[in-house]
Amino acid sequence: MEKPMTIKDIARIAGVSPATVSRVINNNPAGVSRETRAHIQQIVQTYGYQPNNVARSMITKRSNTIGVVVPDIVNQFYTLLLKGVEDMAASRGYSVVLCNSNNNEDKELRNLSYLRDNYVAGIIYNNYRMSERTANLIRSSRVPLIFVDNWGDPIDGICVRINHQHGMAAMANYLLDMGHRAFAYLAGPEGVFSADMRRRGFLDALEERGISFAPRGVLQHCAYSEDAGYEAAKQLLDEKRSITCFVCANDLIAYGVIRLLNERGLRVPDDCSVTGFDDIPFSRLLNPGLTTIYNPVQQLGRSAAQLLIDHIEGAPPPPQRELLFDTHLVRRASVKFLPS
């Protein structure tokens, strides 16, 4: 294998000093005459010279890579987010590396250090809950960072998210209109920003309509996963609750509920209605299709990347620290109309 060319090789060939070559490959505004610049570019072209990024970032302490850290890469929600980030990043000339923290604090800490130690230009970050250690690490790293779904929490920074409350309120109103009153609300993990906001959206909407959740409704926390939804539904059913609709804080939970319902021979929506939140692609494939709230994750990813890169490149911070996106209700067939 021929060793790759270095800046010195180019300099020698061009008959100039490495510094000059450096100036042109960095589009350094500092003066290089039009001719020498062209000459060098020409040589770089023909030899296909690529500067060594590692050497570069050793000096500048910066690279053209942005890191994305998420808690669960198997959840399509996050892969969709990643896709949005990648699109935007690529168009701006950045690479992206994905770190899966697997909802595990140590792993997350390692990921974050890894990114810092490799001089990433910036980070897009999400987690269910941010630990104090993580917050400290982020603070001390001083790497530009954008949150997806921040939670008025240990760190203040720029954040991109959907309007969870509106979304879930829309669902509540729809369900009320469909005649439902006996809800099992599977709220997702307690203390997690998106889950908390969605819950508030739901409960406030009921209140606003003067309908109380309490007597017939039941609220239960659970992980953001299919298995958790399955278990929660099982428990509720075993308690012989009479429920007309399972309102789930995300689609995964709804999948679990549906699986249990199927196992018990209960039909959706005839025997029981189910709703989700996020509208990940699979939800329309269920039979019946899952009624849920569309969450523009890819768009979120793109915006997060854009904000981050703007920031990295020195743009002034946006006026608001939080960029909010709208959701909308996706009516499919998993909710039954209950005439009153």
> Pattern of binders to its own copies over 251-280, x per CB under 8 A?
----x--xx--x------------------
- What's the closest the beta carbon of residue 97 comes to its own copies, in angstroms? 4
- What's the closest the beta carbon of residue 19 comes to DNA, in angstroms? 3
What is the length of the chain?
A: 340
Q: Which is nearer to DNA, 30 or 285 (CB)?
A: 30
Q: Which is nearer to DNA, 16 or 268 (CB)?
A: 16
Applying CB under 7 A, the span of 10-18, 197-205, 245-253, 303-311 interacting with DNA comes to 10-18
Residues with Cβ within 8 Å of 295's Cβ and at least 6 positions away in sequence, in order, are 77, 162, 167, 277, 278, 279, 327
Q: Which is nearer to its own copies, 114 or 294 (CB)?
A: 114
- 38 lies in the site for DNA, by CB under 7 A: no
- Looking at the DSSP bridge assignments, the partners of residue 186 are 220, 248
- 98 lies in the site for its own copies, by CB under 8 A: yes
The CB-side HSE value for 165 (13 A sphere, CA atoms) comes to 10
Q: In whole angstroms, what is the distance from residue 84 CA to residue 302 CA? A: 5
Residues with Cβ within 8 Å of 131's Cβ and at least 6 positions away in sequence, in order, are 105, 108
- Whether the CB-CB separation of 230 and 256 falls below 8 Å is answered with yes
- Whether the CB-CB separation of 327 and 294 falls below 8 Å is answered with yes
Q: Which is nearer to its own copies, 146 or 286 (CB)?
A: 286
Range 35-94, binding its own copies (CB under 8 A):
50, 52-55, 57-58, 73-74, 76, 79-80, 82-83, 86, 90
Q: Is 315 helix (H, G, I), strand (E, B) or coil?
A: coil
* Cβ-based burial of 93 (10 A; exposed 0-12, middle 13-18, buried ≥19): exposed
Interface with its own copies by CB under 8 A: which residues? Answer: 1, 50, 52-55, 57-58, 73-74, 76, 79-80, 82-83, 86, 90, 95, 97-100, 102, 107, 110-111, 113-114, 117-119, 140, 142, 226, 255, 258-259, 262, 281-282, 284-287
